Structure 1
Amino acid sequence: MFGVYDNKDGGGWNTTKDAYTSFVARPDRGKSAFFNNGGTAPRGSYQRGGFGGSGNSRWVEESRDDEDWSKPTQANERLEQELFAGGNTGINFDNYDDIPVEATGQNCPHHIDSFQDVEMGEIIMSNIALTRYTRPTPVQKYAIPIIKNKRDLMACAQTGSGKTAAFLLPVLSQIYTEGPGEALAAQKSGGQDNGKYGRRKQYPLALVLAPTRELALQIYEEARKFAYRSRVRPCVVYGGADIGQQIRDLERGCHLLVATPGRLVDMMERGKIGLDYCNYLVLDEADRMLDMGFEPQIRRIVEQDTMPPKGIRQTMMFSATFPKEIQILARDFLEEYIFLAVGRVGSTSENITQKVVWVEDGDKRSFLLDLLNATGKNSLTLVFVETKKGADALEDFLYREGYACTSIHGDRSQRDREEALHQFRSGRCPILVATAVAARGLDISNVKHVINFDLPSDIEEYVHRIGRTGRVGNLGLATSFFNDKNGNITKDLLDILVEAKQEVPSWLESLAYEHQHKSNTRGRSKSNIWV
């Protein structure tokens, strides 16, 4: 009988805290905590149950070469309950199915209408059933067969479209079919280093890069679900957390790695990660990574190390917008790729009711209180501000006014940020004040209202912010406070409202006309504002 890891506390983390807050720096994890048989399992055995909440295999020194990775391992009822108790909630497929999708490229595989239309294997299909996914979202209908056919992909899709499952399902399916290959031999015979921890280098088969710690954790949690009862062990590394703990976690085996670029470069330079056998590369929220200045690290990871080159590895890029910088990155990283656009690239969802109101700076707080009272104190509301100082000040103000609220921004510690997100998701603090750090990629179910207390300076950031509501076909509300300081996005904001068939304030049309007239009188080329 194999020893099964006691996973009741959310992945072997601190039993007194939730999975997010307890991920960082647990010093007491040893042999006795790892095995439920008191740590007496013989060295070199194949342990099912795994570590770090993956519920999967521990890839140790004496793993057998002849194991069939396509066959499910034994079930773990406690882990299954932990991973899938929440199920799949809040997806309105009826509203979502009519979103336009366009795939361009040579010999594009035909899209699927159900998960049964493509062969993904016993493990994946079983886990899809456990997540209670009834049918694929538009991006999944097109992306899954493209990736299964081993084609590179550049996908632009509205936020909340199911992009994470769109790449995890086919990538994991292919890993289960093909097995570990040469990576297992490398793990067993090489990769020794003389670093601080003196343990083996890990050779992940797939790498997912994400711009923020929160998004990396979110992808990792999804990977745990789809890797359940498999021999694939997901891991996650990100900055702001104890690197020693993350190294110890990696040393227990890593087949699919989710990482932020900076921390991954650190791990590679320490000799803890080798990308020699990384056959699948995913860049999620690629535009956001460029915005955050990660391009040098991304190019270091992809082009200047041991990762297989494009054409040998399979590369997938996902982005909510498609600016020129992303097009350049796609050209450099992808080969004969298919471009997938779900909805118009850079547009907003018609499922989001967008309101733009004129509010002077001195009136913003009282106007915000009116909005919160109108939507109800228990409705999940995300309030965006421009500065860290402004986030702290607004959180203090709302707390004094009797609202259960929290905040998230770059100066808060990783533990505080994860705790704030947990309190918001759970509804204990239904109001979250945030800077742009929370604008991209986070999949928070049932956000009823997004309020732009401070409007951003560019329209792409606006699109990402309001995309936190109206997720996967549900209806949402976004309210933006506008005044003289926001004149630079007047035209773009008007275009967004018109395209999404939203009510346009007459004063916004007038302002757009004035800005257009001023631009023309300065000799600039005419804009297509009324197109």
Structure 2
Amino acid sequence: MAAKARYAPTDPSLPAPWRTLVGVLAGEEVTYFWNPQTKVTQYEKPKAAAVPDEDQKQDEPRTLTTESVLGGGAKNENDPDWSANPKVGKSSDRDGITGVKRANEGTQQNAFKRPKLGFTHPRITPSSETDAYMKKHEITVRGDNVPHPFMNYGSTRFPSTILSEFESAGFSSPSPIQAQSWPIALQGRDIVAVAKTGSGKTLGYLVPGFAHIHKYRDGDSFGTKVLVIAPTRELATQIQTEAKKFGKSSSISSTCVYGGADKGPQLRAIQKGVDIIIATPGRLNDFLKSGKLSLAQVSYVVLDEADRMLDMGFEPQIRAIFSELPAERQTLMFTATWPKEVRKMAGDMLHTPVQVNIGNTDDLVANKAITQNIEIIRRGDKMRRLQQILRSQPSDSRIIVFSSTKRMCDQLAKSLGDFRAAAIHGDKSQDAREVALADFRSGKSPILVATDVAARGLDVKDVRAVINYDFPTKFEDYIHRIGRTARGGASGLAYTFFDDSQDAKFSKKLVKVLQGASQKVPKELADIAARSGNF
């Protein structure tokens, strides 16, 4: 239903014949400016360069509809194209496969007929409002001329098709990382985004990627334009799920490339022509080395969980992949932590990036929405206590139990048979891992026993609790493990079994994390930390 716009009170600071209008968009009141002579509508307040007012006629303001504001239909020629990337020049018409051009003219015609996204100029929010928003959500930025965050979906002026997907998914407003990353990425600038897991980063880079693809819809350029690199198979497939869900209405195609699966179907999917490739570094590098894939068309690149990829030893593969990418590209790096190794890679691969930080990036910080329970316990008492915790939770609760070894992971899953537990670790086949995750998501196996292969790549809604049966061998993994719960603004529980004889070296860091998240520090843990000389 179209919402009628109305004139706001006269603003003497506006140059004639501009008028201020107020309308309603997605249930929210929005303000914009209307020139009755030129029929131009914009959200930025016009500057003092007045337009001659020939007849002083006050035309009726246009009806403010979702389609007109969000870019449906014809685009005003005076409306800036904010999806354009000034750094990226025009590409050739080569496909994503080395030495192969599209021979099927019908395919080219179909590419022209795919619906346009209709991205238009964003609304600029007053700084006093944004200052309060950024302070509330602990958003800090580093860079020149950084645009204001999009505090609500009306500010984004995304197409109604995408906004409807947000609504269907139950999202009421952008997450902080989305709010600040979207306007920067849509300017075509490089970004380093540092935010905890579960912050909504996937859509933080996918939606601007859709806008980037939109640029080429009316041109003669074909082949993959967007490349997303992720550390694990699980994360890669989850990113593709989001790409399909939110890109479907705009006919954006994607495929997933990862190890442990047959290469043939993956190559054939690429050969058909896709807008987005989502890949793990190993398999992507294999395709590049064999000459079966070219990245010459890619102009928008995402490194997701960059810190995790470095932890897993993927830096050589990542650098090899970047050597195959065009120099003129837009690069976005998302990371949960900001150690010196990640900083160096960002310095080598990104061009004058804007850095977006959500929360404290100097230290490891746990999500305050997670209630952390630390239990000092002997090895022989762990299983009994684990079963007690599981029985204390609602029967339909999704719970992840983390073990440090593959062997213990299998043993725990077997011992928890009455709780319908499934296991996932690196020695499981890809098919077995996908079945276990599917059963966990559906509730068929509400308990998932996992090694750290799932600590970062796993994104499942409504995980009630995480249980650390073993403390991780790297302290950083503690943050990432418990981050599997309390995602998307929800709250969650974390239980950690702490063995004084094995885990004392982590006690001081653990105390610091608990204090930083306003959590209770058990006296026994504080005593262990006081005795420990390790940091």
TM-score, normalized by length of structure 1? 0.75
Deviation at 1:130, TM superposition (A): 4.4
Question: Deviations along 1:404-427, whole A, 9 cap, x unmatched?
Answer: 110000000000000000101111
Q: Could you tell me which amino acid in structure 1 is paired with residue 412 of structure 2?
A: L
Question: Deviations along 1:226-270, whole A, 9 cap, x unmatched?
Answer: 221334311111111111111222222211100011111122233
CA distance, structure 2, for counterparts of residue 129 and residue 354 of structure 1 = 32
Who is 1:287 aligned against?
307
Who is 1:194 aligned against?
none
Q: Could you tell me which amino acid in structure 2 is paired with residue 497 of structure 1?
A: L
Residues 115 and 388 of structure 1: CA distance in aligned 2, closer, same or farther (over 3 Å):
same
Q: Could you tell me which amino acid in structure 1 is paired with residue 529 of structure 2?
A: A
Greater per-residue strand proportion: 2
Give 1:68-217 correspondences, 5 Å limit. 71=116, 98-121=136-159, 123-179=161-217, 181=219, 183-184=221-222, 203-217=223-237
Q: Could you tell me which amino acid in structure 2 is paired with residue 260 of structure 1?
A: T
Deviation at 1:508, TM superposition (A): 1.3
Question: Deviations along 1:102-146, whole A, 9 cap, x unmatched?
Answer: 112122111111122134345534543444432101111101111
CA distance, structure 1, for counterparts of residue 462 and residue 517 of structure 2 = 21
Would you say how many aligned residue pairs link Structure 1 and Structure 2?
416
Deviation at 1:342, TM superposition (A): 1.1
> Does the CA-based 8 Å contact 1:70-1:123 persist in structure 2?
no
CA distance, structure 1, for counterparts of residue 317 and residue 427 of structure 2 = 22
CA distance, structure 1, for counterparts of residue 530 and residue 479 of structure 2 = 22
Who is 1:359 aligned against?
377
Who is 1:54 aligned against?
none
Matched, 1:391 2:429: no
Deviation at 1:66, TM superposition (A): 8.4
- Rg larger in structure: 2
Residues 302 and 114 of structure 1: CA distance in aligned 2, closer, same or farther (over 3 Å):
same
Residues 367 and 71 of structure 1: CA distance in aligned 2, closer, same or farther (over 3 Å):
same
Q: CA RMSD in A?
A: 2.3
Question: Deviations along 1:379-416, whole A, 9 cap, x unmatched?
Answer: 111000000001011111111xx221100000000000
Give 1:448-459 correspondences, 5 Å limit. 448-459=464-475
Deviation at 1:150, TM superposition (A): 1.1
Matched, 1:298 2:327: no
> Does the CA-based 8 Å contact 1:287-1:321 persist in structure 2?
yes
Out of 494, 502, 517, the residue aligned to residue 519 of structure 2 is 502
Out of 459, 463, 468, the residue aligned to residue 479 of structure 2 is 463
> Does the CA-based 8 Å contact 1:351-1:474 persist in structure 2?
yes
Deviation at 1:321, TM superposition (A): 0.9
Q: Could you tell me which amino acid in structure 2 is paired with residue 135 of structure 1?
A: S
Who is 2:497 aligned against?
481
> Does the CA-based 8 Å contact 1:154-1:318 persist in structure 2?
yes
Deviation at 1:70, TM superposition (A): 5.1
CA distance, structure 2, for counterparts of residue 351 and residue 97 of structure 1 = 18
Question: Deviations along 1:158-178, whole A, 9 cap, x unmatched?
Answer: 111110011101111221133
Who is 2:266 aligned against?
246
Matched, 1:232 2:252: yes
Residues 107 and 70 of structure 1: CA distance in aligned 2, closer, same or farther (over 3 Å):
farther
Question: Looking at both structures, which has the greater relative contact order when contacts are Cα pairs under 8 Å and sequence separation is at least 6?
Answer: 1
Residues 155 and 456 of structure 1: CA distance in aligned 2, closer, same or farther (over 3 Å):
same
Q: Could you tell me which amino acid in structure 1 is paired with residue 277 of structure 2?
A: L
CA distance, structure 1, for counterparts of residue 413 and residue 165 of structure 2 = 40
Residues 128 and 177 of structure 1: CA distance in aligned 2, closer, same or farther (over 3 Å):
farther
Who is 2:129 aligned against?
none
Residues 180 and 323 of structure 1: CA distance in aligned 2, closer, same or farther (over 3 Å):
farther
Out of 411, 434, 454, the residue aligned to residue 418 of structure 1 is 434
CA distance, structure 1, for counterparts of residue 220 and residue 321 of structure 2 = 20
Deviation at 1:324, TM superposition (A): 1.0
> Does the CA-based 8 Å contact 2:472-2:478 persist in structure 1?
yes
CA distance, structure 1, for counterparts of residue 255 and residue 273 of structure 2 = 8
> Does the CA-based 8 Å contact 1:121-1:173 persist in structure 2?
no
CA distance, structure 2, for counterparts of residue 398 and residue 279 of structure 1 = 48
Who is 1:81 aligned against?
none
TM-score, normalized by length of structure 2? 0.74
CA distance, structure 2, for counterparts of residue 274 and residue 500 of structure 1 = 46
CA distance, structure 2, for counterparts of residue 59 and residue 213 of structure 1 = 32
1:355 match: secondary structure: strand
The percent identity for this pair of structures is 41
Out of 238, 248, 256, the residue aligned to residue 218 of structure 1 is 238
CA distance, structure 2, for counterparts of residue 333 and residue 506 of structure 1 = 46
CA distance, structure 1, for counterparts of residue 135 and residue 293 of structure 2 = 41
The gaps in structure 2 that reach 5 residues or longer are 1-101, 119-133
> Does the CA-based 8 Å contact 1:204-1:274 persist in structure 2?
no
Who is 1:93 aligned against?
none
